[in-house]
Amino acid sequence: MYSWDSRSDCIGIDEPLYRDWMKDREDRSDIHRPYKNELLHGSKVCEMMPKEKSFKWDREQKSLFTRVNLALEKDDRHNPIKVIFCKHMGHHRTLFDFDKNKQISDEEPNSYSVAKHFHILLIRDPVAILNSWNSTSSVHLSADAKPDEVGLLPLLSIYSDLVSHGNKNDPIIVDSDELANNPSHVLQTLCSKLELPFSEKMLFWPAGPKECDGAWASYWYENVHKSSGWSQNLSDSCIQASYKTFDLSLMPQMRMNLPIYLQLQSLSVTQQMLQEKVTNEDLEDSRNANLFCWIGPPKKYGGGQLYPREMARISPFDSAVQGGDAVWEGLRIYNGKILTLEEHLTRLFQSSRAMGFKNEHTKEEVKDAIFATLG
Protein backbone atom coordinates (compact mmCIF):
# COMPACT_ATOMS: atom_id res chain seq x y z
CA MET A 1 0.00 0.00 0.00
CA TYR A 2 2.82 2.43 0.85
CA SER A 3 4.52 1.70 -2.49
CA TRP A 4 1.40 2.66 -4.39
CA ASP A 5 0.44 5.60 -2.19
CA SER A 6 3.94 7.04 -2.74
CA ARG A 7 3.12 7.58 -6.41
CA SER A 8 1.88 11.08 -7.26
CA ASP A 9 -0.82 9.57 -9.49
CA CYS A 10 -2.19 7.14 -6.89
CA ILE A 11 -4.18 7.19 -3.64
CA GLY A 12 -4.14 4.25 -1.21
CA ILE A 13 -7.17 3.11 0.78
CA ASP A 14 -6.61 0.85 3.78
CA GLU A 15 -9.10 -2.03 4.27
CA PRO A 16 -12.34 -0.16 3.48
CA LEU A 17 -14.42 -3.30 4.16
CA TYR A 18 -13.01 -3.83 7.67
CA ARG A 19 -15.85 -2.07 9.51
CA ASP A 20 -18.59 -4.06 7.75
CA TRP A 21 -16.69 -7.28 8.42
CA MET A 22 -16.47 -6.39 12.12
CA LYS A 23 -20.10 -5.27 12.18
CA ASP A 24 -21.17 -8.76 11.09
CA ARG A 25 -19.19 -10.13 14.07
CA GLU A 26 -20.01 -7.48 16.66
CA ASP A 27 -21.33 -9.98 19.18
CA ARG A 28 -18.45 -12.46 18.88
CA SER A 29 -16.22 -12.51 21.93
CA ASP A 30 -13.48 -14.53 20.19
CA ILE A 31 -12.39 -11.60 18.01
CA HIS A 32 -9.93 -9.60 20.11
CA ARG A 33 -9.76 -6.03 18.81
CA PRO A 34 -9.22 -3.28 21.42
CA TYR A 35 -10.55 -0.69 18.97
CA LYS A 36 -13.80 -2.52 18.10
CA ASN A 37 -16.09 0.22 19.45
CA GLU A 38 -14.29 3.02 17.59
CA LEU A 39 -14.32 1.04 14.37
CA LEU A 40 -18.04 0.29 14.62
CA HIS A 41 -19.31 3.61 15.94
CA GLY A 42 -16.72 6.22 15.02
CA SER A 43 -15.19 8.91 17.23
CA LYS A 44 -18.44 9.52 19.16
CA VAL A 45 -17.41 6.75 21.57
CA CYS A 46 -14.64 9.02 22.81
CA GLU A 47 -15.30 12.77 22.62
CA MET A 48 -11.80 13.57 23.90
CA MET A 49 -10.17 11.82 20.92
CA PRO A 50 -7.59 13.97 19.03
CA LYS A 51 -8.92 15.42 15.77
CA GLU A 52 -6.49 13.51 13.51
CA LYS A 53 -7.59 10.22 15.08
CA SER A 54 -11.31 10.99 15.14
CA PHE A 55 -11.19 11.85 11.43
CA LYS A 56 -9.87 8.41 10.57
CA TRP A 57 -12.37 6.54 12.74
CA ASP A 58 -15.20 8.56 11.16
CA ARG A 59 -13.78 7.84 7.71
CA GLU A 60 -14.27 4.12 8.33
CA GLN A 61 -18.04 4.68 8.47
CA LYS A 62 -18.13 5.32 4.71
CA SER A 63 -18.71 2.63 2.08
CA LEU A 64 -16.11 1.44 -0.42
CA PHE A 65 -18.02 3.27 -3.19
CA THR A 66 -17.89 6.55 -1.26
CA ARG A 67 -14.22 6.12 -0.30
CA VAL A 68 -13.19 5.56 -3.92
CA ASN A 69 -15.14 8.55 -5.19
CA LEU A 70 -13.79 10.78 -2.42
CA ALA A 71 -10.30 9.76 -3.51
CA LEU A 72 -11.11 10.64 -7.11
CA GLU A 73 -12.29 14.09 -6.02
CA LYS A 74 -8.70 14.85 -4.97
CA ASP A 75 -7.71 14.82 -8.64
CA ASP A 76 -6.14 18.00 -10.00
CA ARG A 77 -4.50 18.98 -13.26
CA HIS A 78 -1.01 19.03 -11.71
CA ASN A 79 -1.23 15.56 -10.16
CA PRO A 80 -3.99 13.63 -11.97
CA ILE A 81 -5.15 10.54 -10.06
CA LYS A 82 -4.84 7.51 -12.34
CA VAL A 83 -4.79 4.73 -9.77
CA ILE A 84 -6.88 3.92 -6.69
CA PHE A 85 -5.17 1.19 -4.68
CA CYS A 86 -7.46 -0.55 -2.17
CA LYS A 87 -5.76 -2.84 0.31
CA HIS A 88 -8.13 -5.58 1.48
CA MET A 89 -7.79 -8.62 3.72
CA GLY A 90 -8.64 -12.00 2.22
CA HIS A 91 -11.21 -12.78 4.91
CA HIS A 92 -13.17 -9.65 3.87
CA ARG A 93 -13.98 -11.33 0.53
CA THR A 94 -17.53 -12.21 1.60
CA LEU A 95 -18.40 -8.49 1.45
CA PHE A 96 -17.28 -7.99 -2.15
CA ASP A 97 -19.07 -8.85 -5.39
CA PHE A 98 -16.28 -10.00 -7.71
CA ASP A 99 -18.59 -10.16 -10.74
CA LYS A 100 -19.64 -6.51 -10.41
CA ASN A 101 -16.43 -5.28 -8.72
CA LYS A 102 -18.33 -3.55 -5.91
CA GLN A 103 -19.16 -3.86 -2.25
CA ILE A 104 -22.16 -6.17 -1.89
CA SER A 105 -24.02 -3.81 0.47
CA ASP A 106 -23.58 -0.81 -1.85
CA GLU A 107 -26.89 0.17 -3.41
CA GLU A 108 -25.15 2.63 -5.70
CA PRO A 109 -24.37 1.41 -9.23
CA ASN A 110 -20.74 0.71 -10.00
CA SER A 111 -19.85 4.04 -11.56
CA TYR A 112 -16.22 4.33 -10.52
CA SER A 113 -14.34 6.49 -12.99
CA VAL A 114 -11.75 3.76 -13.42
CA ALA A 115 -10.74 2.33 -16.78
CA LYS A 116 -9.69 -1.10 -15.53
CA HIS A 117 -10.03 -3.16 -12.37
CA PHE A 118 -7.31 -5.60 -11.27
CA HIS A 119 -7.01 -7.95 -8.32
CA ILE A 120 -3.51 -8.41 -6.87
CA LEU A 121 -3.11 -11.22 -4.34
CA LEU A 122 -0.18 -10.74 -1.93
CA ILE A 123 0.89 -14.08 -0.47
CA ARG A 124 3.32 -14.86 2.33
CA ASP A 125 5.00 -18.02 3.57
CA PRO A 126 2.78 -19.38 6.39
CA VAL A 127 5.92 -20.23 8.38
CA ALA A 128 6.66 -16.49 8.58
CA ILE A 129 2.99 -15.59 9.17
CA LEU A 130 2.56 -17.99 12.07
CA ASN A 131 6.03 -17.35 13.51
CA SER A 132 5.02 -13.73 14.05
CA TRP A 133 1.44 -14.46 15.05
CA ASN A 134 1.79 -13.55 18.73
CA SER A 135 4.09 -10.57 18.17
CA THR A 136 1.12 -8.18 18.38
CA SER A 137 -0.49 -9.84 21.37
CA SER A 138 -2.91 -7.00 22.01
CA VAL A 139 -4.76 -7.88 18.79
CA HIS A 140 -3.53 -11.35 17.83
CA LEU A 141 -3.63 -14.46 19.98
CA SER A 142 -2.96 -18.08 19.05
CA ALA A 143 -6.67 -18.76 19.51
CA ASP A 144 -7.38 -16.35 16.62
CA ALA A 145 -5.36 -18.41 14.12
CA LYS A 146 -8.36 -19.69 12.21
CA PRO A 147 -8.12 -20.56 8.49
CA ASP A 148 -9.68 -17.29 7.33
CA GLU A 149 -7.51 -15.21 9.64
CA VAL A 150 -4.25 -16.74 8.40
CA GLY A 151 -5.35 -15.57 4.98
CA LEU A 152 -4.12 -18.10 2.41
CA LEU A 153 -7.35 -20.10 2.22
CA PRO A 154 -9.40 -16.94 1.43
CA LEU A 155 -6.86 -15.94 -1.22
CA LEU A 156 -7.16 -19.34 -2.87
CA SER A 157 -10.94 -18.94 -2.79
CA ILE A 158 -10.69 -15.50 -4.41
CA TYR A 159 -8.33 -16.81 -7.08
CA SER A 160 -10.66 -19.72 -7.84
CA ASP A 161 -13.73 -17.47 -8.03
CA LEU A 162 -12.09 -14.95 -10.33
CA VAL A 163 -10.74 -17.57 -12.72
CA SER A 164 -13.94 -19.65 -12.66
CA HIS A 165 -16.18 -16.67 -13.36
CA GLY A 166 -14.15 -15.64 -16.38
CA ASN A 167 -13.07 -12.32 -14.86
CA LYS A 168 -11.78 -10.02 -17.58
CA ASN A 169 -8.34 -9.79 -15.96
CA ASP A 170 -6.86 -12.80 -14.20
CA PRO A 171 -5.69 -12.15 -10.62
CA ILE A 172 -2.02 -11.27 -10.28
CA ILE A 173 -0.12 -13.03 -7.49
CA VAL A 174 2.86 -11.42 -5.75
CA ASP A 175 5.01 -13.28 -3.19
CA SER A 176 5.99 -10.98 -0.31
CA ASP A 177 9.42 -12.61 0.09
CA GLU A 178 10.22 -12.01 -3.56
CA LEU A 179 8.97 -8.43 -3.20
CA ALA A 180 11.16 -7.78 -0.14
CA ASN A 181 14.23 -9.38 -1.74
CA ASN A 182 13.97 -7.65 -5.11
CA PRO A 183 11.40 -4.82 -4.87
CA SER A 184 12.43 -2.96 -7.99
CA HIS A 185 12.17 -6.02 -10.25
CA VAL A 186 8.89 -7.27 -8.76
CA LEU A 187 7.23 -3.84 -8.82
CA GLN A 188 8.37 -3.21 -12.39
CA THR A 189 6.96 -6.59 -13.41
CA LEU A 190 3.71 -5.82 -11.58
CA CYS A 191 3.36 -2.40 -13.23
CA SER A 192 3.92 -4.02 -16.62
CA LYS A 193 1.12 -6.49 -15.91
CA LEU A 194 -1.12 -3.58 -14.92
CA GLU A 195 -0.17 -1.61 -18.05
CA LEU A 196 1.18 1.22 -15.91
CA PRO A 197 4.56 2.98 -15.99
CA PHE A 198 6.85 2.08 -13.11
CA SER A 199 7.82 4.91 -10.76
CA GLU A 200 10.97 4.96 -8.62
CA LYS A 201 8.81 6.62 -5.95
CA MET A 202 7.31 3.20 -5.26
CA LEU A 203 10.58 2.16 -3.60
CA PHE A 204 10.54 4.87 -0.90
CA TRP A 205 8.15 6.54 1.53
CA PRO A 206 8.58 8.81 4.56
CA ALA A 207 8.87 7.13 7.95
CA GLY A 208 5.97 7.45 10.35
CA PRO A 209 2.16 7.25 10.03
CA LYS A 210 0.53 7.99 6.67
CA GLU A 211 -2.74 9.60 5.68
CA CYS A 212 -3.76 6.39 3.91
CA ASP A 213 -3.37 4.34 7.12
CA GLY A 214 -6.47 2.82 8.61
CA ALA A 215 -7.38 4.27 12.02
CA TRP A 216 -6.07 1.06 13.63
CA ALA A 217 -2.51 1.63 12.35
CA SER A 218 -1.00 2.29 15.78
CA TYR A 219 -1.93 -1.27 16.80
CA TRP A 220 -0.52 -3.02 13.72
CA TYR A 221 1.98 -0.87 11.79
CA GLU A 222 4.60 0.00 14.41
CA ASN A 223 7.46 -1.74 12.60
CA VAL A 224 6.63 -0.56 9.10
CA HIS A 225 6.27 3.02 10.40
CA LYS A 226 9.97 2.83 11.25
CA SER A 227 10.82 2.08 7.62
CA SER A 228 11.40 4.55 4.81
CA GLY A 229 11.18 2.21 1.84
CA TRP A 230 12.16 -1.17 0.48
CA SER A 231 15.66 -0.96 1.94
CA GLN A 232 18.08 -3.63 3.10
CA ASN A 233 17.20 -2.64 6.66
CA LEU A 234 13.61 -3.67 6.08
CA SER A 235 14.69 -7.02 4.64
CA ASP A 236 17.03 -7.60 7.59
CA SER A 237 14.26 -6.92 10.11
CA CYS A 238 12.01 -9.40 8.32
CA ILE A 239 14.73 -12.06 8.40
CA GLN A 240 15.48 -11.48 12.09
CA ALA A 241 11.79 -11.63 12.97
CA SER A 242 11.47 -15.06 11.34
CA TYR A 243 13.90 -16.72 13.78
CA LYS A 244 11.56 -17.49 16.67
CA THR A 245 10.42 -20.55 18.54
CA PHE A 246 7.38 -21.81 16.69
CA ASP A 247 4.17 -22.04 18.72
CA LEU A 248 3.31 -25.74 18.32
CA SER A 249 -0.38 -25.03 18.94
CA LEU A 250 -0.35 -23.43 15.45
CA MET A 251 0.93 -26.59 13.72
CA PRO A 252 -2.53 -27.58 12.35
CA GLN A 253 -2.74 -24.20 10.63
CA MET A 254 0.75 -24.69 9.24
CA ARG A 255 -0.17 -28.04 7.72
CA MET A 256 -3.35 -26.61 6.21
CA ASN A 257 -1.83 -23.44 4.76
CA LEU A 258 1.56 -24.56 3.46
CA PRO A 259 0.22 -26.56 0.45
CA ILE A 260 -2.02 -23.61 -0.46
CA TYR A 261 0.94 -21.24 -0.31
CA LEU A 262 3.11 -23.50 -2.50
CA GLN A 263 0.33 -23.70 -5.11
CA LEU A 264 -0.25 -19.94 -5.17
CA GLN A 265 3.50 -19.28 -5.16
CA SER A 266 3.86 -21.32 -8.36
CA LEU A 267 1.40 -18.86 -9.96
CA SER A 268 3.18 -15.67 -8.82
CA VAL A 269 4.30 -13.16 -11.45
CA THR A 270 8.00 -13.92 -10.94
CA GLN A 271 7.55 -17.70 -11.01
CA GLN A 272 5.46 -17.42 -14.17
CA MET A 273 8.26 -15.42 -15.81
CA LEU A 274 10.80 -18.05 -14.81
CA GLN A 275 8.64 -20.81 -16.29
CA GLU A 276 8.28 -18.88 -19.54
CA LYS A 277 12.08 -18.77 -19.81
CA VAL A 278 12.43 -22.55 -19.54
CA THR A 279 13.65 -23.77 -22.92
CA ASN A 280 13.34 -27.10 -24.69
CA GLU A 281 17.03 -27.59 -23.95
CA ASP A 282 16.29 -27.38 -20.21
CA LEU A 283 13.57 -30.00 -20.57
CA GLU A 284 15.27 -32.05 -23.36
CA ASP A 285 11.79 -32.37 -24.86
CA SER A 286 9.04 -29.71 -24.57
CA ARG A 287 6.53 -32.45 -23.74
CA ASN A 288 8.41 -32.97 -20.47
CA ALA A 289 6.96 -29.69 -19.15
CA ASN A 290 3.74 -31.48 -18.24
CA LEU A 291 4.93 -34.79 -16.84
CA PHE A 292 3.21 -36.59 -13.96
CA CYS A 293 4.95 -38.50 -11.18
CA TRP A 294 3.39 -41.19 -8.98
CA ILE A 295 4.54 -40.88 -5.36
CA GLY A 296 3.37 -42.64 -2.24
CA PRO A 297 3.58 -45.64 0.08
CA PRO A 298 1.91 -49.06 -0.39
CA LYS A 299 -1.88 -49.11 -0.18
CA LYS A 300 -1.83 -50.58 3.33
CA TYR A 301 -0.17 -47.33 4.44
CA GLY A 302 -2.46 -45.01 2.52
CA GLY A 303 -1.32 -45.43 -1.08
CA GLY A 304 0.09 -42.91 -3.51
CA GLN A 305 -1.17 -40.46 -6.10
CA LEU A 306 -0.16 -38.50 -9.19
CA TYR A 307 1.60 -35.14 -8.93
CA PRO A 308 2.57 -32.66 -11.68
CA ARG A 309 6.35 -32.59 -11.99
CA GLU A 310 6.73 -29.21 -10.22
CA MET A 311 4.77 -30.52 -7.20
CA ALA A 312 6.52 -33.88 -6.96
CA ARG A 313 8.37 -34.31 -3.65
CA ILE A 314 9.71 -37.16 -1.56
CA SER A 315 10.22 -37.05 2.19
CA PRO A 316 13.69 -36.08 3.49
CA PHE A 317 13.29 -39.13 5.73
CA ASP A 318 13.04 -41.43 2.71
CA SER A 319 15.74 -44.11 2.66
CA ALA A 320 17.00 -42.92 -0.74
CA VAL A 321 17.74 -39.50 0.79
CA GLN A 322 18.94 -40.66 4.21
CA GLY A 323 21.18 -43.48 3.08
CA GLY A 324 21.38 -43.20 -0.70
CA ASP A 325 19.92 -46.68 -1.19
CA ALA A 326 17.32 -47.17 -3.90
CA VAL A 327 16.43 -49.41 -6.82
CA TRP A 328 15.04 -48.43 -10.18
CA GLU A 329 14.08 -49.69 -13.61
CA GLY A 330 13.73 -47.75 -16.83
CA LEU A 331 10.84 -48.68 -19.13
CA ARG A 332 10.45 -48.10 -22.85
CA ILE A 333 7.13 -47.68 -24.64
CA TYR A 334 6.62 -48.42 -28.34
CA ASN A 335 3.33 -47.91 -30.15
CA GLY A 336 1.53 -47.46 -26.84
CA LYS A 337 2.87 -50.70 -25.31
CA ILE A 338 5.44 -51.21 -22.57
CA LEU A 339 8.39 -53.34 -23.66
CA THR A 340 8.97 -56.47 -21.47
CA LEU A 341 7.11 -55.07 -18.46
CA GLU A 342 7.06 -58.37 -16.56
CA GLU A 343 10.80 -58.84 -16.95
CA HIS A 344 11.48 -55.33 -15.69
CA LEU A 345 9.21 -55.77 -12.67
CA THR A 346 10.82 -59.13 -11.83
CA ARG A 347 14.25 -57.52 -11.83
CA LEU A 348 12.96 -54.55 -9.80
CA PHE A 349 11.66 -56.78 -7.02
CA GLN A 350 14.79 -58.93 -7.08
CA SER A 351 16.85 -55.77 -6.55
CA SER A 352 14.52 -54.70 -3.75
CA ARG A 353 14.98 -58.01 -1.92
CA ALA A 354 18.74 -57.84 -2.44
CA MET A 355 18.76 -54.45 -0.71
CA GLY A 356 16.73 -55.83 2.18
CA PHE A 357 13.79 -53.46 1.67
CA LYS A 358 10.69 -54.06 3.74
CA ASN A 359 7.10 -52.80 3.40
CA GLU A 360 7.47 -52.65 -0.37
CA HIS A 361 4.64 -52.22 -2.87
CA THR A 362 3.05 -55.27 -4.47
CA LYS A 363 3.64 -55.93 -8.13
CA GLU A 364 0.01 -55.06 -8.89
CA GLU A 365 0.36 -51.73 -7.09
CA VAL A 366 3.41 -50.89 -9.17
CA LYS A 367 1.54 -51.81 -12.35
CA ASP A 368 -1.41 -49.65 -11.34
CA ALA A 369 0.93 -46.72 -10.70
CA ILE A 370 2.67 -47.17 -14.06
CA PHE A 371 -0.55 -47.24 -16.07
CA ALA A 372 -2.06 -44.34 -14.10
CA THR A 373 1.06 -42.27 -14.86
CA LEU A 374 0.99 -43.18 -18.55
CA GLY A 375 -2.77 -42.55 -18.78
Pairing of strands 305-308, 292-295: antiparallel
Give the residue-averaged pLDDT of 150-163.
Answer: 92
Pure H helices in 165-314: 176-181, 183-193, 217-220, 222-225, 232-242, 251-265, 269-277, 280-283
pLDDT of residue 28: 77
Handedness of CA 62, 68, 74, 79 (dihedral sign): positive
DSSP type of residue 121:
E
What residues does 121 pair with on adjacent strands? 173
Q: Is pLDDT at 197 greater than 90 in this prediction?
A: yes
Give the residue-averaged pLDDT of 185-190.
Answer: 94
Which pLDDT tens digit goes with each residue over 241-278? 445 567 888 889 999 999 999 999 989 988 877 776 66
Q: Is pLDDT at 279 greater than 70 in this prediction?
A: no
The pLDDT mean for the chain works out to: 85
Assign domain 288-374 one CATH number from 3.40.228.10, 3.30.365.10, 3.30.470.10, 3.40.50.970: 3.30.470.10
Amino acid identity of residue 274, one-letter, is L
Global pTM exceeds 0.75: yes
Q: What is the location of CATH 3.30.470.10 in the chain?
A: 288-374
Q: Count Cα neighbours of 296 within 13 Å in the Cβ-side half-sphere.
A: 19
Q: What is the location of CATH 3.40.50 in the chain?
A: 2-273
pLDDT of residue 223: 85
- pLDDT-derived band at 235, boundaries 50, 70, 90: very low
Domain 2-273 -> CATH class: alpha beta
Give the residue-averaged pLDDT of 39-67.
Answer: 78
